[in-house]
Amino acid sequence: MFGATGTAGQAAATALIEAGHHITCVIRPESTGTVAAGARLHFANVTDAASLRDYGFAGETFDVVVSCIASRTGAPADAWAIDHDANVSILEHAKAAGVRHMVMLSAICVQKPLLDFQHAKLAFEEKLKSSGLEWSIVRPTAFFKSLSGQIARVKEGKPYLIFGDGQLTACKPISDRDLGAFIATCVDAPERKNCVLPIGGPGPALTPLEMGREIFRLTDQPEVYRKVPVALLDVIAGGLRLTGLIKPSLKVKA
């Protein structure tokens, strides 16, 4: 398993162990992240093919590979290096190690790719589909953890931030635990092989405004919103792109 120190990866590793699987988590040598109890550890760098071969797979054979890796920043270079290239390297070494099935954690937003990390994930999805292995591509919606910053703001009496009127989008947020459990079932369930699997949390899809109302209710705080004009984001992005022509480091932020 790769990406086992991330929140989704930890949850998936825990669910796999609870289901009775023997798992090996490949993590960076310098990693200080927590790994699920009961997992065996290999230390390797996923961006180094030799390290991945010699220390990640280490000449052993495996039945299934689960990849929950993701770029930390989403910046173009990082996205292509991790979301695409590292996954390709994992796939190639997995085939050499006798792996028959690969489970990839992707994202629902690749359905309408605009950003580099979305294009990178989507490009790897296509490589996985044509790899000759059985495959499962899991595309979760928004995570509950993405709301944690907003919850802290509301508890401090600060306004809840929304774009536009807060009703431009809607989704079904999913918890790490539920996502991890779903990823674990992909290892054994025949109906989840060779499938793209969108997955969200329980209940109806919620708009940001509806999420805000629920957070205010649960924290017993008065409803106070700060609306950010959507057009403002276009102005900021346009300004960064223009500035990026002069200072390349700002082009990434655009």
Q: Are 104 and 133 in contact (CB under 8 A)?
A: no
Low-confidence ranges of the chain (pLDDT < 50): none
CATH 3.40.50.720 fits 1-140+175-200, yes or no: yes
* Distance (Å, whole) CA 38 – CA 4: 12
Name the packing angle between helices 208-219 and 148-155 (round to 10°).
50
Q: pTM to 2 decimals?
A: 0.85
CB 12 within 8 Å of CB 34: no
pLDDT tens digits, 112-146: 998 999 999 999 999 999 999 999 999 998 887 77
Q: How far is residue 189 CA from its own chain's centroid?
A: 21
191 Cβ partners below 8 Å, 6+ apart?
none
Intrachain domains 1-140+175-200 and 141-171+206-254 with the same fold: no
Domain ranges of the chain: 1-140+175-200, 141-171+206-254
pLDDT for the residue 93 = 97
Does 141-171+206-254 carry CATH code 3.90.25? yes
Residues 25 and 47: their CA atoms lie apart, in Å, by 16
Residue 176 pLDDT: 93
* Residue-level pLDDT at 238: 62
